[in-house]
Structure 1
Amino acid sequence: TSAAAEVELVPPAREGDTSFAARELVARERGERACDVWEPLSRGCELRGDDEEAVRDLGTGERYSYVQVAARAERVGTWLRETVRPGGRVGIMTPNCAIAMEAHFAAAWAERVALNCNPRLSAEETAYVLEGARAEVLVVDPCYADLVAAALATTRQLAVRSVAWTSSAAATTTSAGEELRYETIAGGSAGRRAFAADDDAGAEMYYTSGTSGRPKGVVLSRRNVVLHALGCCVEHRLKAEDVWLHAAPMFHLVDAYAMFSITWVGGTHVTIPAFSAAAVAQ
């Protein structure tokens, strides 16, 4: 049986309970290994190789193979490891795009925490999130330059030292100590990864909606992210032929989990910058 065929054989649910199948899949895919959020991308590379249809960004027209995504993420991860303290937060504020997924895997490679930033917040609210999370680095699309500049200009004690702009169109200079081009980092050199097993270490961070008071930061561990990804493979019966349209916000859990689940089974990602009926229909 080929690797692609094997991973598609998601165990069936028993008596309507998917937990049985999830446990079987976890046992087969992980065994006794530690939870590693980088693993889905490694598996995607095995299943799809150099197939440049694995990740399609409709906003830029770019297409990537999982191998290309992994290579870029390794280089960005090397920079993050050198720039952000162990366990530190890496803020990501972009529209739905290939770079959003790439940045999450870069944080996983570096064993740093990906902080999902909601660009629909006000500057004051954004500053509150960045302060509470103690974000040290931001990966930002220039379309949010004014919001980020205003947030960093507040009187809050922010830990942000570097901003990596995802294109050369940034029109605003912020008060961060260092401003870089993401593509320059992605084109740099990659170091050697030294993975430290710790299932309870942080992997992803989200802020609640704040329906009862201020939003609160919630950190998902590596175990949370990995087991949730595998559980979704079972629940959705995911397979290599599946194509996932990232139409919901990738900064929200309603869509972010698919970055890991779809990649794990070698499926295809398609991103659109924002939801519109016309874009989705096309």
Structure 2
Amino acid sequence: MNWELDWLENRARLSPNKDAIIDEKTNNAWTFTELNKRANSTASWLHTRGVKKGDRVALLSPNHISYFDLLFACGKIGAIFVPLNRRLSLHEINEILADCTPVLIGVHQEFESISPHLTNTATFFIGDPSYEELVTFPIGDLPQEEIAETDPLAMIYTGGTTGKPKGVVLSHQSILWNAINTIVSWSLTEDDVTVNYMPMFHTGGLNALTIPVLMIGGTVVIGELFSGKKAVESLNRYRCTTILLVPTMYHMLIQTDEFQNSDFPFMKIFLSGAAPCPMHIYEAFQKKRLAFKEGYGLTEAGPNNFYISPEDAQMKRGSVGKPMLFNSIKLVKTDGCETDTNEVGELLIKGKHAFSFYWNREQATEETWKDGWIHTGDLAKRDEQGFYYIVGRKKEMIITGGENVYPLEVEQWLASHPAIDEVAVLGLPDERWGEMVAAFITLKQSCTIPDEELKMYCESKLGRYKIPKQFIRLAELPKTHVGKIDKNKLKEMSIHS
């Protein structure tokens, strides 16, 4: 093992008795020394099972200590850790297994019933007594094969919202530099504590806060099923200083009595990611004088790319801030030229935290990696002071009657209406205009509002071509596995309705 890459070994030497991981459900805790021993034992066990450098080791599990055991163990022997989206169907999981061909898959006992039906993979079980034997396996000599920074460490599959999931290969370098960049730019310290409710098969759960907090010597509390009430209790109980949630989680959190009644004495900052955040969430935190801000990332880059101070976040609501210390950002128009101030363009990213390639997807890799830059497919603009704002997905931009409509602008305004609970705006086919703007909404309890009133509300802020021609009311908006509103599902619903 290249010892400068095995930062867990070094962190265990520096902070041997500090709690690294706490399980919210059981309250079990592991120090950095104990976490490193588990990783060494797991690495030895994998080695005796014939796992070699470059082999894939998969995991199907809810948030659990095994994510750390296997990630760090794979790092020590040069294997590639592949966390699987537990919310997929058996068919979808088997498609991913057929793509990445792991030599072993760890299956949590919660999924024991589907284990016999997984594609051609040797399994071992997580969460039962046999697993504790595995993580206390006698530590032996590990292979002496050199592991380079650019060798793969993990492969995280994208959500598949624009087609079949793609395996995003992350090297030791990309995970290491995302963490270093985050620690330095966000001023994380060994006193930081976070509770992670993001799914750990997702880059937001594994890489956004979890790895950076551990690397600096802080503590990560493993959360599982999210509820607003439980989150407030855990933030106070474990003296958390920071947390990352998606907007739908914050939407649930701020509506609880526990949120209204807590002062959050230990919290330094609340972070929002994965999707643009509605303004009413900013207002809820400002009302309580709690620091709140947004970030931006994607599986292929980071997922951390910007920094904004809490003070600037209140002044520049909706901004993700400025590029972090060790990465570069530029915005380009369709002709390849860079944008001017306040002009919308595609967001491009460069840095050592970037992914290596898509597994078995050479063409997709070439389409994303161009001239040394990651082309994100996201649209953004930059103001006069250099603060960046995410406008939306390139593929979600609506062209109606030759005019460009960015759904986020319409969503933000509709979400500020007191009767609306959640909203998603997208373009639907229209014979006359090419596309028409449609708004899918859920209403707050006991609220009703006619379309004409909603259109009048939009007219007070938006150009006429931006005003939805349809308002489609639903009991609930469908969500992806990380809690984002699923616009593909909404589009399918509109086609079949």
Tell me the equivalent position of 1:244. 194
Shift of 1:195: 5.5
Distance 1:279 1:106 in 2: 31
Shift of 1:275: 1.5
State the TM-score, normalizing by the size of structure 2: 0.44
Tell me the equivalent position of 1:166. 127
Whether 2:163 is the aligned partner of 1:196: answer no
Shift of 1:71: 0.5
State the SS of the aligned residue for 2:164. Answer: coil
Q: How many residues align?
A: 229
Identity of matched residues, %:
24
Distance 1:212 1:270 in 2: 32
**Which has the larger helix fraction?**
1
1:108-257 map, 5 Å: 108-152=75-119, 158=120, 160-168=121-129, 181-193=130-142, 194=144, 196-257=146-207
8 Å contact from structure 1 (residues 81, 112) kept in 2: no
Q: Can you list the C-alpha shifts for 1:149-192, whole angstroms capped at 9, x where unaligned?
A: 3334xxxxx3x123233314xxxxxxxxxxxx221111210123
CA gap 1:163/1:199 in 2 versus in 1, 3 angstroms: same
Q: Which amino acid aligns with 1:93?
A: L
Distance 1:56 1:151 in 2: 31
CA gap 1:120/1:147 in 2 versus in 1, 3 angstroms: farther
Distance 1:227 1:139 in 2: 28
Q: Can you list the C-alpha shifts for 1:59-88, whole angstroms capped at 9, x where unaligned?
A: 222111010010011011111123223211
Unaligned runs of 5+ in 1: 1-32, 153-157, 169-180
CA gap 1:128/1:267 in 2 versus in 1, 3 angstroms: same
Unaligned runs of 5+ in 2: 234-497
Distance 2:228 2:13 in 1: 34
Tell me the equivalent position of 2:33. 67
1:37-56 map, 5 Å: 38-39=6-7, 41-51=8-18, 53-56=19-22
Shift of 1:147: 3.5
Distance 1:78 1:259 in 2: 24
Distance 1:199 1:220 in 2: 10
Q: RCO (CA 8 Å, sep 6+): is it higher in 1 or 2?
A: 1
Tell me the equivalent position of 2:266. none
Distance 2:151 2:223 in 1: 31
Q: What is the RMSD computed on CA atoms of the aligned residues?
A: 1.9
Structure with max Cα Rg: 2
Tell me the equivalent position of 1:280. 231
Whether 2:56 is the aligned partner of 1:89: answer yes
Tell me the equivalent position of 1:269. 220
State the TM-score, normalizing by the size of structure 1: 0.75
Distance 2:128 2:3 in 1: 36
State the SS of the aligned residue for 1:42. Answer: helix
Q: Can you list the C-alpha shifts for 1:219-258, whole angstroms capped at 9, x where unaligned?
A: 1111111111111112321100000211111111012013
Q: Which amino acid aligns with 2:127?
A: T
Distance 2:103 2:77 in 1: 14
Distance 1:140 1:129 in 2: 15
8 Å contact from structure 2 (residues 108, 127) kept in 1: yes
Distance 1:281 1:106 in 2: 33
Distance 1:74 1:146 in 2: 30
CA gap 1:215/1:78 in 2 versus in 1, 3 angstroms: same
Distance 1:265 1:162 in 2: 34
Tell me the equivalent position of 2:268. none
Shift of 1:34: 7.8
**Which has the larger strand fraction?**
2
